[in-house]
Copies of this chain bind each other. A is one copy, B any other.
Amino acid sequence: MEGSVFNTLLLPDLRQMLEEDDGPALKEFCEALHPGVAAEVLEELDTATAWEVLTHCGPKTQAEILGFLPLPFQVQLVQSIEGPQLTRLIEEMSPDDRVDLLERMEPEAVDALLPLLAHAERSDIRKLLSYPEDSAGSIMTTEYASLPADITVSDALQRVRKQAPSRETIYYVYVTDEDRHLRGFVSLRDIILAKPDATLAQLMETDVISVRVDDDQEHVAREIAKYDFIAIPVVDNQNRLVGIVTHDDAADVLVEEATEDQQRQGAVEPLEDSYLQTPVPTLAWKRGIWLVILLGASFLTAYVISFFVGEGDGATWMAMFLPLVLASGGNAGSQSATLIIQAIALRETALGHARHICFREVLLGTLLGGGLACLSVVIALTLVEYSWQAMVVGVTVFLVVLMGTVVGAMLPIGFKRLGVDPALMSNPLIAALVDVLGVILYYNIARITEAAVS
């Protein structure tokens, strides 16, 4: 069965179960499906209703499904859960997912929650929360399988069975001494293939590739990818095993880092959440800050041109601001295109969202265009002879940024609809289109204004 068609098929069923308050069916929904599939369907509901569904299964299943929901949704959902139910749920979550959630919650809510948790969980959380963001420690889990070196394979298998229910993976088993120093590594495959009376010491690999708890998460993810590991052990500076990072979290890191690099390349300050989950004011800030910096650079260009064309020298004053006007539109367009192309590639936006996206981008374009226009007028006044010339620059910047924002967002969606790879519609091509339209706007606005003032 195809994963991505699940939710369109299951959502109407789920709504009906809720309407009929069909407890056993709701329990079945939570427990029979892969938690990732259940999460995908629940995401389409509001958080209160999603929690209503989850109350029909045990805290273990709740925690599993919760781990597959996007973080902003998790935070909202958790707010609608009361005392003991919340405590049980948090205790059941895997340590790495739990810490990700707690880091995003209000500090007061976390402070209120921590004392209610069991001691073991509490100290585990405190420790994981203490590692710097983007370090190996911040993405690792403490639920690894470990064994001493001197036991036999058949003993090992017995012990792995006991550890299994609470461990993130049992396919890699780490061999440690009584002080938790990492001594070796053995895969479950090796254990299963070995003679029952062999010892782990005979079986284990002793040159274990590991990472340090303060290593950068990107380094960790690349090591896992390079060696095709299912998990990599994380050690402290005395080579004591403190956790493992699993392949799935490594893949998330790789995607996250690539997404961030792409956003930086498109002059967007990296977003914490996905495009559609990021509110417009946050987007305006993450984009605006770079547009302003780049406007400063364009002002420098205008200033340099002013040396060559002479201040206010007839029609040539327009040449001064031509690069500034076109760059503003091009940058805004490349920001929109970057975010929308990513949203399409990461499958976080269905094409049905096109109208919603368009509305957001028009709003953003107006905000960003308005802000940049005011700044441009102030800048232009220092370089031109007549204030109407500065007004021409301001009005053009406003319109060009608005146009760039909307065109940059809509073209990739249009291309996707036509079945063309939206990434092919590369940013510079959008910039080129914005250039042509920008020139037409600029010169026409100047003409009309000049005629009006003279």
A residues apposed to B, CB below 8 Å: 1-4, 32-34, 36-37, 40, 68, 157, 160-161, 164-165, 170-171, 188-189, 192-193, 207-212, 218-219, 222-230, 246-248, 250-252, 254-255, 257-262, 264-267, 290, 293-294, 297-298, 300-301, 304-305, 307-309, 315-316, 318-319, 322-323, 326-327, 331, 334, 337-338, 341-342, 345-347, 421, 423-424, 426-429, 431-433, 435-436, 439-440, 443, 447
Min CB gap A68→B, angstroms? 8
Min CB gap A284→B, angstroms? 18
With A3-B227, A170-B189 known, 6 other A-B pairs at CB within 8 A are A164-B193, A171-B171, A230-B230, A247-B248, A319-B322, A322-B323
Docked-complex contact A225 and B251, CB < 8 angstroms = yes
Docked-complex contact A435 and B297, CB < 8 angstroms = yes
Chain B residues near A424 (CB, 8 Å)? 264
- Tell me, in angstroms, the Cα distance from A171 to B248 when the chains sit together: 15
Chain B residues near A436 (CB, 8 Å)? 297, 300-301, 304
- Tell me, in angstroms, the Cα distance from A189 to B289 when the chains sit together: 50
CB contact between A1 and one of B36, B210, B297, B319 (< 8 Å): that residue: B210
27 A-B residue pairs with Cβ-Cβ distance under 8 Å, sorted by A, are A1-B208, A3-B209, A3-B227, A36-B228, A37-B227, A40-B226, A160-B192, A225-B255, A229-B248, A262-B262, A262-B265, A264-B421, A265-B266, A265-B338, A265-B427, A290-B428, A297-B429, A298-B435, A301-B439, A304-B436, A305-B439, A305-B443, A307-B443, A308-B439, A316-B316, A323-B435, A327-B435
Chain B residues near A326 (CB, 8 Å)? 301, 323
Docked-complex contact B305 and A265, CB < 8 angstroms = no
Chain B residues near A427 (CB, 8 Å)? 265-267
Docked-complex contact A254 and B251, CB < 8 angstroms = yes
Which chain B residue lies CB-closest to A67? B228
Min CB gap A65→B, angstroms? 12
Chain B residues near A447 (CB, 8 Å)? 308
- Tell me, in angstroms, the Cα distance from A184 to B157 when the chains sit together: 25
- Tell me, in angstroms, the Cα distance from A34 to B223 when the chains sit together: 12
Chain B residues near A290 (CB, 8 Å)? 426, 428
Copies of this chain, whole number: 2
- Tell me, in angstroms, the Cα distance from A164 to B435 when the chains sit together: 60
Docked-complex contact A248 and B262, CB < 8 angstroms = no
Which chain B residue lies CB-closest to A304? B439
- Tell me, in angstroms, the Cα distance from A150 to B164 when the chains sit together: 25
CB contact between A439 and one of B2, B318, B323, B347 (< 8 Å): that residue: B323
Chain B residues near A435 (CB, 8 Å)? 297-298, 301, 323, 327
Chain B residues near A37 (CB, 8 Å)? 209, 227
CB contact between A207 and one of B33, B304, B315 (< 8 Å): that residue: B33
Which chain B residue lies CB-closest to A270? B423
CB contact between A250 and one of B68, B251, B265, B323 (< 8 Å): that residue: B251
Chain B residues near A4 (CB, 8 Å)? 219, 223
Min CB gap A215→B, angstroms? 8
